[in-house]
Amino acid sequence: MNPRPVHVQAQTQTHSGTGLRRKQLSVAIMSTLAFTVCFMVWMMFGVIGVPIKQELQLSATEFGLLTATPVLTGALIRIPLGMWTDKFGGRIVFFLLMLSTVVPIWLISHATEFWQFLVLGLFVGLAGGSFSVGTPYVARWFEPRNQGFAMGVFGAGNMGAGLGKLVAPSLLVAFGWIFVPQVYALSMLAMALLFWFLTYSDPQHKVDARITWREQLQALKDPTVWKYCQYYSVVLGGYVALSLWMVQYYVGEFGLDIRIAALLASVFSLSGGVLRGVGGWLSDRYGAHRTTWWVMWVSWVCLFLLSYPATTYTIQTAGGPVTFTLAHNVWSFTVLMFVLGIAWAFGKASVCKYIADDYPSNIGVIMGIVGCIGALGGFVLPIMFGMLQDLTGVRSTAFMLLFGVVWVSLIWMYWTEVRNSDYLKRPKAHTPAPATAP
């Protein structure tokens, strides 16, 4: 393994008994619920952006920018949030983060211009940074052999993207899109208060206060961290991008009503979130590498099939020309998206397991860096989806782009892991000794 230049004191759980188990369960459950609400808010424009696009007459590129703007701040804030979590503890950081988004969410219902949605989207996007707070906060309450599963359960809060597609369309049709951010704002406020009163803090989970931000950011020099960033740009960045893109894709490609489109799009979003705990269990049992390797190959196959645009062929036969069309119907498309969502749910958990195994002493900052770069993929990809669609007129170019990104991950993993026999001989639940200060 490459050296890890960020040095903090490893924390271990010294408590025991039913009191500890009760706190573990409370922290895991409430953090997961809080992350679910945060993710639902973060993906809000994936649904309400459809009527806003029609109202403001936006192009595909402008729609991509609208949906991706919250993802930008949700990505960039992850590194400082990871650092603050290491230094001050996850409970207080998570609570303040949720409170900071309530007012911007509410103000979206009063926006009328495109630039106003973009500016408010930047502030609402802070909710997306909750991942780099909750993951180390939850992980430190559990022993190493169970951290993969614990982080997977927390990460299942990604299902907020799917729940939003189930809840928001009904509110939108019944009361108009303006009502949706108002409900979300009140939900965020209630969740923040419940989280504060039903979770716990442990001073042992904080890093040495003498560790500076500069020392923490030395992790950016570690090439292994950048490899995990690439993996995460697929399983999280791709997941976020498609969660934002799929409702309008179903509407445009298959001519569906927005409620039916959102329901079918939630098949991908929910499978990509709910099953993350299973991915954590698989990573604990079989190792992060093996799980991630298969995730990338399943993704490669699904994206290859999804990339093929609807095509009409005419073949000259002895009896005259014969014409047939090769295209996905709504059901074959949804099945492939469901399988892709499952693969990415497992992949998000396995990347987190990589980090917990290889960087046990400074999970917060490493998770912040990896989460930041991965989430930036969720910002860039919808914009590129829109640009490619405007340029070619082919909607499936979104999947062609993701297919290329998966190729990069497979090649990188092959050269650094599959060909490296020493790497593959590591224990499945590798937990290296804490690094010492230079």
pLDDT in tens, 148-167: 778 777 877 777 767 777 77
Q: Is the pLDDT of residue 215 over 70?
A: no
**Chain segment 91-134, per-residue pLDDT in tens:** 999 999 999 999 999 999 999 999 999 999 999 999 988 888 88
For residue 374, give the CATH number of its domain: 1.20.1250.20
Rounded to 10°, the helix 144-155/18-42 angle is 30
Q: Domain for residue 432, yes or no?
A: no
Instruction: State mean pLDDT over 20-44.
Output: 89
Q: Domain for residue 340, yes or no?
A: yes
pTM metric for this prediction: 0.71
Domain count, the chain: 1
Instruction: State mean pLDDT over 11-30.
Output: 72
How would residue 421 be classed by pLDDT, with cut points 50, 70 and 90? Answer: low
Q: Is the pLDDT of residue 246 over 60?
A: yes
Give percent above pLDDT 70 in the chain.
87
Q: Domain for residue 176, yes or no?
A: yes
Residue 341's domain comprises 18-208+215-424
Return the pLDDT at 75. 84
Tell me which of 9 and 274 has the higher pLDDT: 274
Give percent above pLDDT 90 in the chain.
27
Return the pLDDT at 310. 81
**Chain segment 383-392, per-residue pLDDT in tens:** 898 899 889 9
Q: Domain for residue 266, yes or no?
A: yes
Q: Domain for residue 252, yes or no?
A: yes
Q: Domain for residue 9, yes or no?
A: no
Q: Which of 156-160, 231-235, 325-329, 353-357 has the lowest mean pLDDT?
A: 156-160
Return the pLDDT at 424. 53
Return the pLDDT at 161. 67
Q: Is the pLDDT of residue 74 over 50?
A: yes
Q: Domain for residue 123, yes or no?
A: yes
Q: Domain for residue 3, yes or no?
A: no
Return the pLDDT at 185. 94
Q: Is the pLDDT of residue 42 over 60?
A: yes
What does the mean pLDDT of the chain come to?
82
How would residue 212 be classed by pLDDT, with cut points 50, 70 and 90? Answer: low
